[in-house]
Amino acid sequence: ALTLPKPRTESNRTLSEWISILMQLQDKEEEEKREVILAAWSSLNHRERFIFNKIITGGFRVGVSQKLMTRALAKATGIDENILAHRMMGNWSPADTNFEDLILREQADERISRPYPFYLAYALDISYEDLGSSQQWQAEYKWDGIRGQLICRKGQIFLWSRGEDLLTDRFPEISALAGKMPDGSVIDGELLPYKDGSVLTFQNLQTRIGRKNLSRKMLENCPVILMAYDLLEYRGEDIRQQTLVKRRRLLENIIRPFEGDVLRLSPTIDFESWPELDEIRKMARKQNKSEGVMLKRTSSPYQVGRKKGDWWKWKIDPLTIDAVLLYAQQGHGRRANLFTDYTFAVWNGDQLVPFAKAYSGLTDKEFLEITKYVRGNTLERFGPVRSVKPNLVFEIAFEGIQASTRHKSGVALRFPRMLRWRKDKHPREANTIDDLKAMLHTFG
């Protein structure tokens, strides 16, 4: 852009006009493309050429999440994030709309789509005996899916995630409830992959996350339900300050006509004592692929944000395996001078097979000690990555395991992290690939 001669003419074309011209060049001959580009350069100043060159080379595109873009637009325009998310939903393109119509102009139905703030539970950090009588609490499974809020107002359906992403278009099974649910209803629940009477794994759900275009095969392989566990609005009235018992009773009335379909009621767990519930909790992963249990005080209102006292999540212990450190890479930010990103391996006979990467779970002192080891025991370098002498053993914790054709080990772990450095273990005492496969058979 700076090395080209000064422009001979001046252009008053808009950005959208230039994009339209470039789109038409896709099927043209090389000579015609060349003529258009040279003509453009001769009419644009150096700043305009810079943008033009970025567009024609594909370098203008910057990866930004929809959530971040929505937040930035909210800050720039002063419009609420939820309203902007609603305005940008659906299939639109810059070719058939403009900024004013899409972003600045109020839409007739955006007010009816607004969700309520989610109520978030704390992890149980006290003894269950300190909770008092178990009869004062409702227990249900902590489902491993996407937290969602289903809104039905004026015959329309809106599905919001906890991260305030509008998901209606991505889950046609749920949007099909439009016109069927009672008007003025807002349900809090969990989007779960569900097939043949069983909840599938979160990894199954990941195959649908982020995809705008869903094939028939994908919908058949991974159908989704909403497991409903709370009711925030009933017949257009905000009922969040009513007790959990009352809200649950009204929720049951709404769900009853749909039970067994895409909308299901999250079952409560019958238990007589805390020790009995503890045993149920420990079996949650094997029972229905859930993460543990939720405890909700029966007299509690539906509050805003994360509050202690009335809602607790009592998760199961993570799966663990002992592994050998094989590769190390420097971290980022304040850890840029330390080797904090590791690749771990398990034994397959006499060979170490990589199976997981992790970068969290240790103290700064431990990271410093490992960094010294890496620098003194490097075998090879592959760009920023170093292979090291396989002498250090770590206990790796993770939330789930599934088969994977992309990984040499044949498995992929969910949320792997370092639980502790096993200085007491010799590398040959680390687990094997057969141990991972056994876990896959049990929990995959």
What pLDDT score was predicted for residue 243? 97
pLDDT in tens, 32-47: 989 999 999 999 988 8
DSSP reduced 3-state for 160: strand
CB 208 within 8 A of CB 170: yes
Q: Report helix angle 46-57 to 15-24, nearest 10.
A: 40
Domains in the chain, CATH or no CATH each = 66-107 (no CATH), 119-315 (3.30.470.30), 319-443 (2.40.50.140)
* Interatomic CA distance for residues 147 and 149, integer angstroms: 7
What pLDDT score was predicted for residue 323? 97
What pLDDT score was predicted for residue 231? 98
Q: From the candidates 142, 289, 296, 315, which is the catalytic residue? A: 142
What pLDDT score was predicted for residue 66? 72
Please give the average pLDDT of every successive group of 10 residues along the chain, which has 444 residues. 79 84 86 90 89 80 75 91 72 73 74 85 90 94 95 92 85 90 95 91 80 80 94 96 97 90 94 95 90 96 88 94 96 85 96 95 94 96 94 95 87 93 96 94 80
Q: Are strands 319-330 and 393-398 parallel, antiparallel or unpaired?
A: antiparallel
* Interatomic CA distance for residues 184 and 178, integer angstroms: 12
Active site residue 67: no
What pLDDT score was predicted for residue 208? 81
Q: Which long-range contacts (CB under 8 A, 24 or more apart) does 2-9 make?
A: 2/46, 4/41, 4/46, 4/49, 5/42, 7/41, 7/42, 7/43, 7/44, 7/45, 8/42, 8/43, 9/42, 9/43
